[in-house]
Amino acid sequence: MTPPTKNELEARLHYPLGDTLPEPGRALVVAPGVKWIRMALPFALDHINLWLLRDTLDGREGWTVVDCCIHRDEAKAQWEQIFANELDGLPVLRVIVTHMHPDHIGLAKWLCERWNCMLWISATDYNSARIGSQSTTGFGGASAADFFATHGMSDPESLEKIRGRASYYPSMVPGVPRSFVRLLDGQTVTIGGRGWRCIAGYGHAPEHMALYNDDLQVLISGDMVLPRISTNVSVYDVEPESDPLALFLDSLERYLPLPEATLVLPSHGKPFTGLHERIQQLKDHHTDRLAEVLDACAQKPCSAFDILPVLFTRALDLHQTTFAMGEAVAHLHRLWFQGRLQRSTGADGVHRFRPHG
Ligand SMILES: [Zn+2]
């Protein structure tokens, strides 16, 4: 039996708004008191969804913003249009960020200063973003190049380019607010009189927070559950011995108790229903990828670089290759942590994986 295509899988989900998208500079109401904003990104993943929640805080009427877009003039200009068009003359009262990736937190400092309000985020992601935005060595640079070399990337030109990309994160996240309000798993944040429960998720970001409201049956899923693409799950140089795929798959289980009718508001793609179907698709996806990786390693011991063509059939530019390398290591590590592969380090310093026996 041939496996279902991406389009066939997507057809099993339901998009209540069809193909309707918010206009640039405008928002669309997706649930009572919940508006959808869509902003352009200058990457292969060319947009991000942000959310406006009608709120009352400390006796003031206004809005809570969820996620921010990267720091760049185009995004600021689009926010100004949103402020003019969509806030009913009311202020932004707080900024919630699901996780520390640049498209989510990039403009948090600007938004918080613009509206004199606080950033709400998990402590783990706050600290990661704060270090990343102040550092010229983490999140890229020499340590990332060394990590990729250990996993079989040997082309000197590519490694040189990665070495030179040391300030990649600060270029999109030049700073974060000096203080924050901590979001914890299981905590309920009252927004506009409704309780939104924080659901921590791991494996994609250090400590991602999704938000669920039971009255509306709405889940702001961030990057943890996306309708069309599978969430990036990568091993990074800062935590080279990690098993993020185990964390990610465990985290998906935490959304299963939510109702079947849940409207999922993802950071990329369109609002959808079919949460349980999508979770099963993601589990199946990784089960299949793991089987392919195991199979490749049974043919010959493989580094992460060796299995890129197993996991990715399309051509990858260098930027995509760095993401793909992180994903390849994540799949090898899952099998290694399960005891289905063993790791050995060659005389060339490269980690290769093969089955036991
Ligand atoms: Zn992300």
DSSP string, 61-79: EEEEEE----SSHHHHHHH
Q: How far is the CA of 344 from the centre of ligand 1 (A)?
A: 31
Phi, psi of 53 (to 5 degrees): -115, 125
Distance 298 CA to ligand 1 centre (A): 32
105 C-alpha to ligand 1 centroid (Å) = 10
Taken in order 8, 13, 15, 16, is the CA torsion positive or negative?
positive
Sheet of 181-182, strands arranged across: 28-31, 34-40, 47-57, 60-66, 92-96, 118-121, 181-182
**Centroid of ligand 1 to alpha carbon of 347 (angstroms):** 36
How far, in Å, are 19, 250, 326, 333, 336 from residue 242 at the CA level?
Answer: 39, 14, 11, 7, 11
Q: Which of 88, 91, 97 is nearest to 70 (CA)?
A: 97
Residue 100, token pair as written in the block: 């520390």
User: What distance in angstroms lies between residue 43's CA and the mean position of ligand 1's atoms?
Assistant: 13
CA of residue 103 to ligand 1 center, whole Å:
7
pLDDT, tens digit only, all 357 positions of the chain: 567 788 889 999 999 999 999 999 999 999 999 999 999 999 888 999 999 999 999 999 999 999 999 999 999 999 999 999 999 999 999 999 999 999 999 999 999 999 999 999 999 999 999 999 987 655 678 899 999 999 999 999 999 999 988 788 999 999 999 999 999 999 999 999 999 999 999 999 999 999 999 999 999 999 999 999 999 999 999 999 999 999 999 999 999 999 999 999 999 999 999 999 999 999 999 999 999 999 999 999 999 999 999 999 888 888 889 999 999 999 999 999 999 999 999 999 999 999 997
Determine if the pTM surpasses 0.85: yes
Distances (CA, A) of 295 to 2, 112, 298, 311: 18, 50, 5, 12
Using CA atoms, how far residue 216 sits from 18, 63, 142, in Å, is 20, 17, 47
